[in-house]
Amino acid sequence: MSEKTESSWLQFATDRPRLTVWTMVVVTLALVALAALPSVWPERFGLLNPLTIDTDPENMLSSDEPVRVFHDDMKEQFSLYDMVVVGVVNESNPDGVFNVGSLRRIYELTEYASTLRWPDPDNPGRQEGVVEEDMLALSRVDNIEQEGVGSVRFSWLMPEPPDTRNQALAILERAQRIPLFDNTLVSADGKAVALYLPLTSKDMSYRVREALLDKVASWEDTGDQVYITGLPVAEDTFGVQMFYQMAISAPLAMLVIFLVMWWFFRHVRLITSAMIVAMVAAASTMALLVISGSTVHIMSSMIPVFIMPIAVLDAVHILSEFFDRYPLHRDRHRAIREVMGILFKPMLFTTLTTMAGFASLALTPIPPVQVFGIFIAIGVFLAWLCTVTFIPAYIMLMPEGRLTGFGHAAGDPDQDTVMGRWLRRLGEGVVSHARAVLVVTMVVVVAAGYGISQIRINDNPVKWFEPEHPIRVADRVLNEHFGGTYMAYLALVPEGDNAAQDNQIFKRPEVLRYIARLQQRLGETGVVGKSNSVADLVKTVHRELLGGDDGAFRIPDSPAAVAQTLLTYQNGHRPQDLWHFVTPDYRRASIWVQLTSGDNRDMSRVVQALDDFIAANPPPASIQARWFGLNYINVVWQDKMVSGMAMALFGSFVVVLLLMALLFRSLLWGLLCMIPLTVTIGAIYGLIGIIGKNYDMPVAVLSALSLGLAVDYAIHFLARARATQAETGSWRRSVAPMFGEPARAITRNAIVLGVGFLPLLAAPLVPYQTVGVFIAAILLTAGLSTLLILPALVTLLQRWLFPGARRAAPNPQNQEEGVQ
pLDDT above 90: residue 791: yes
* Residue 74: strand, helix, or coil: helix
Q: Give phi and psi for 31, each to the nearest 5.
A: -65, -45
pLDDT reported for residue 302 = 79
pLDDT in tens, 675-726: 998 998 899 889 999 998 888 877 877 776 677 777 888 998 999 899 999 9
Type of residue found at 358: F
pLDDT reported for residue 542 = 94
pLDDT reported for residue 815 = 39
Query: What is d(CA 757, CA 772) in angstroms, rounded to the nearest whole number?
Result: 5
pLDDT above 70: residue 663: yes
Asked if 216 contacts 127 with a C-beta cutoff of 8 angstroms, the reply is no
Of residues 652, 644, 642, 650, the one with CA closest to residue 696: 642
Average pLDDT for 299-325: 83
Type of residue found at 732: R
Taking the complete model, does pTM exceed 0.85, yes or no?
Answer: no
Query: What is d(CA 478, CA 780) in angstroms, rounded to the nearest whole number?
Result: 41
* Higher per-residue confidence, 296 vs 164: 164
Q: What angle do CA 402, 390, 362 make, to 5 degrees?
A: 145
Q: How confident is the model at residue 500 (pLDDT cuts 50, 70, 90)?
A: very low
Average pLDDT for 395-411: 69
pLDDT reported for residue 480 = 94
Contacts for 706 with CB less than 8 Å, ≥ 6 apart: 677, 680, 681, 684, 778
Edge to edge, the sheet with strand 589-595 lists 528-532, 589-595, 486-494, 623-628
User: What is the share, in percent, of the chain residues with pLDDT greater than 70?
Assistant: 92
pLDDT reported for residue 771 = 81
pLDDT reported for residue 752 = 84
Query: What is d(CA 104, CA 743) in angstroms, rounded to the nearest whole number?
Result: 71
Query: What is d(CA 380, CA 311) in angstroms, rounded to the nearest whole number?
Result: 7
Most confident of 10-14, 308-312, 569-573: 569-573
pLDDT above 50: residue 312: yes
pLDDT in tens, 107-145: 999 999 999 999 988 788 889 999 999 999 999 999 999
Please report, in angstroms and rounded to a whole number, the separation of the first and last CA atoms in the chain. Answer: 31
**Beta-bridge partners for 88:** 193, 226
Question: What is the four-CA torsion angle of 363, 366, 371, 377, rounded to 10 degrees?
Answer: -40
pLDDT reported for residue 520 = 96
Looking at 190-294, list the stretches that DSSP marks H as alpha helix, in order from N- to C-terminal side: 205-216, 231-265, 268-291
Asked if 268 contacts 262 with a C-beta cutoff of 8 angstroms, the reply is yes
pLDDT above 90: residue 156: yes
Q: How confident is the model at residue 805 (pLDDT cuts 50, 70, 90)?
A: low
Q: How confident is the model at residue 308 (pLDDT cuts 50, 70, 90)?
A: confident
pLDDT reported for residue 812 = 41
Asked if 486 contacts 631 with a C-beta cutoff of 8 angstroms, the reply is yes
* Higher per-residue confidence, 555 vs 329: 555
User: What secondary structure letter does DSSP report for 130?
Assistant: B
pLDDT reported for residue 610 = 96
pLDDT reported for residue 380 = 93
User: What secondary structure letter does DSSP report for 762?
Assistant: G
Question: Residue by residue, what is the 3-state secondary structure of 563-623?
Answer: HHHHHHHCCCCCHHHHHHCECCCCCCEEEEEEECCCCHHHHHHHHHHHHHHHHHCCCCCCE
User: What is the share, in percent, of the chain residues with pLDDT greater than 90?
Assistant: 51
pLDDT in tens, 406-441: 665 444 444 457 888 899 999 999 999 999 999 999
Q: How confident is the model at residue 49 (pLDDT cuts 50, 70, 90)?
A: low
Of residues 138, 671, 235, the one with CA closest to residue 486: 235
Average pLDDT for the chain:
87
Contacts for 46 with CB less than 8 Å, ≥ 6 apart: 38
pLDDT in tens, 9-31: 678 888 899 999 999 999 999 99
